Amino acid sequence: MPFDTCRSEGLYCNRCVRTFPASPSYLDLTLTAGIKQKVYNQRSWGGTELFRSPLVSFVYERGWRQGFAWAGFPGADREYDIAMDYLLPAAGGKVLVDMSCGSGLFSRRFARSGSFSGVIAADFSESMLQQTREYCMQEGEGLNGSTPIMLLRADVARLPFATGSVAAIHAGAAIHCWPNPQAALAEISRVLAPGGVFVASTFLTASAPLGQVLGDDLVRPLSQSMKYWEEQELRDLCEAVGLQGFQRERSWQFIMFSARKPAAAVAMDSADFSE
């Protein structure tokens, strides 16, 4: 987005002709940020609302995420190592976007690595961003350490980045939570720079029985709405939006995969239009 004017109340976009609010906790670049609608109210997908819950944000690193071990997730440290193997060739020394960052479980690790010039920790959930901020403060360096972390409220289906401007995007245990994964992948492909990489982990099968711990009402959206995958579906999604070189590491119901934006666009030939 072309933010060329900074105002006291937030960031002004001369293309949108509006100001996006900034709070002490995070910058909000979602479509309705700072807009008070009189009647219209966008109906939210159940899974999205689940992760906006302060309770879920609080418990995410206090038992929720560790529970993914049942599906074969190897744990945050090993997942970080796999992700870095995929990310560094494309994004070493550049800014990394950690999309759907949750409580900042990986954002903080990426920043501590010193391998990136900055980390954008982005999520649609206000409470997850608040939790990320709290962890950053508790761990000492805050948000302005040797590798700065920017907290950004953003919608994966409408990323506030210029086309071809992002070296790498990571989404840990997130794609199954997105309301429209195909639209999200198309948007990710749009913002990735030539040679840029998308790295994500997700579940290959059905969900965990969390209702006994957190209450059936709270976790019901998980069983009703979330998407779990076959590997070929993930390959298809990437190929459909022009991401190539699919690689993956898979164990039981866990999969982490990467795909790249082609390094250079192929010039279109007039023969492409012939019948």
User: Can you list the positions of beta strands (E) in 124-188?
Assistant: 149-153, 166-171
Please tell me the predicted confidence (pLDDT) of residue 185.
98
**Cα–Cα distance between 45 and 155 in angstroms, integer?**
13
Reported confidence tier of residue 229, pLDDT bands at 50, 70, 90: confident
Quote the CA–CA distance of 73 and 66 in Å, as a whole number: 9
The 3-state secondary structure of 74-101, one letter per residue: CCHHHHHHHHHHHHHHHHCCCEEEEECC
pTM of the full structure: 0.86
pLDDT at 112 (0 to 100):
96
Choice among 7-21, 60-74, 149-163 with the minimum mean pLDDT: 7-21
At residue 13, the pLDDT reads 80
| pLDDT value at residue 207 | 44
Say yes or no to pLDDT of 205 above 80.
no
What's the CA dihedral at 121, 153, 169, 158 to 10 degrees?
180
Q: What is the model's pLDDT at position 49? A: 80
What is the rounded CA–CA span in Å between residue 240 and residue 232? 12
8 A C-beta contact, residue 26 and residue 151? yes
Read off the pLDDT of residues 11-62 as tens digits, 9 standing for 90 and up: 888 877 888 877 778 999 998 887 776 666 666 655 678 889 999 999 999 9
Report the alpha-carbon angle 173-146-151, nearest 5: 45
Q: Which candidate, 208, 126, 160, 76, places its Cα nearest to that of 84?
A: 76
CA distance 260 to 194: 8
- Residue range 245-249: mean pLDDT, rounded: 97
Sign of CA dihedral 87, 96, 151, 199: negative
